[in-house]
Structure 1
Amino acid sequence: MAISRKILISRRTVVKTSALGAVFLFLSTWKCKPTEKSVIAGRGLSCRFLDPEAQEIFAHLCEAVLFNFLPKEPSEKEKVLNEVILGIDSYLYTLPIHTQDEILEAIQFLKLRFVRWYLFGSGSHWELTDRNVVIKTLNQWKMSSISLFRSIFFLLQSMITIGYFDSSYSWKHVGYPGPKHALGLRHG
């Protein structure tokens, strides 16, 4: 019964946390619109939802999540990553508008240098992020006691794995011959 008398969290802590959360949310979306000054060459993909900078974000997240499944040869690896990004783009394009808006806000948030530096260790460019730091951050999100981080992790993981395994281009890298091999099988 001693625990019922103990105050686990004070009102002051709740107010401070709420105020800090409000400031954090304001700063996360403040000036998050892409500027005309920053031009990214991009991957040359014809995405309908992801802009070139978002394509780079997903390319580096995909590289971190799928590094065991990706081919070692750099040009083949880029082709597979491009196919995964196209798969993610087509999936996101089919979502309802309100969900797309939320995902765009999250992407804009990840574009901020401070956020990249804080979460992934590099504020300048995604190319300079260490894959191990990205994996560590994603694993922390997966095991977080905060359900929002866990939801973000599982959303990213599912989009990336769906984009990878849905593409027939990546099947040869995991040894899957495709659905045609099952046509000759008899059931029953």
Structure 2
Amino acid sequence: MHNTTLEIANLSRRSLLKVGLLGSALLGTAGLTATLSGCSASTPKAGFAVIRESDLPLLQALIPVMLAGAVPPTQMAQAISGTLQNLDFSLNHLSPELLKMTLQLFDILAMPITRGPLTGVWGSWQHASAGDMQAFLDRWQNSSISLLRMGHASLLQLVMMSWYSRAESWAHCGYPGPPAV
């Protein structure tokens, strides 16, 4: 018989408090720095309801890496544009608290002072290669810090839901589309 119990991480109360304090300090510092530097402009970019100018370099570098293999290279630009539109629509319909946390994540990833140490991408997102982006995603997915793993899961879910809600993505996964009513 197989053991089906989940192994629970050996996390003491002290370790949990340390992780919580570290995460709070990181988010607080990043939010304050973004606010004071003007990096965290709450004004959406023209044509979007939520996505800001500062969010686009990250998203435009991240989406092609996440969609690699699902989208032919000749159609990637159209897929990025459509995914961004769907992502913006989804973000616009989040609860205010979830939206605030998502924008904080984008702010942390947009600021050079936090981007380098957290992601390993020390230059701007526009100059990050697909390999750099994949290394960043792998780093966060396999991190011992639960806050980074949650950030990875959030980014992955946001992008994938935005892509797979588009009709042009359905053929790749064998979905014929909704039935005609």
User: TM-score interval w.r.t. the shorter chain?
Assistant: 0.7 to 0.9
Counterpart CA distance in 2 for 1:97 and 1:72 is 36
Q: Specify the alignment match of 1:35 in structure 2.
A: 38
Q: What displacement does 1:92 show? A: 1.1
- For the residue of structure 1 that corresponds to 2:71, the secondary structure is coil
C-alpha displacement of 1:95:
0.8
Residue 120 of structure 1 deviates from its aligned partner by 3.9
Of 142, 167, 177, which residue of structure 2 is paired with 1:179?
177
CA RMSD of aligned residues (A): 3.4
CA shift digits 1:130-151 (9 cap, x unpaired)? 2112212212222223222221
Q: Deviations over 1:9-50 (max 9, x none)?
A: 9x8x999988866654443223303639x9xxx9x8621111
The TM-score with structure 2 as length reference comes to 0.72
- How many pairs are equivalent? 164
Alignment check: 8 A CA contact 1:85 1:163 kept: yes
Which one-letter code corresponds to 1:179 in the other structure?
G
User: What is the DSSP-based 3-state SS (H/G/I as helix, E as strand, rest coil) of the residue aligned with 1:47?
Assistant: coil
Contact 1:84 1:163 in 2 (8 A): yes
Aligned to 1:148: 147
Tell me the equivalent position of 1:57: 58
- Which residue in 1 is equivalent to 2:161? 162
* Larger Rg computed on CA atoms: 1
Q: Given the superposition, is the C-alpha separation of residues 14 and 147 from structure 1 closer, same or farther in structure 2, using an over 3 Å criterion?
A: closer
The C-alpha deviation readout for 1:73-106, integer Å capped at 9, x for no partner, is 2xx3211101011111111111111111111111
Structure 1 stretches lacking a partner, 5+ long: 1-7, 184-188
Amino acid at match of 1:160: V
Asked if the contact 1:83–1:169 (Cα under 8 Å) also holds between the matched residues in 2, the reply is no
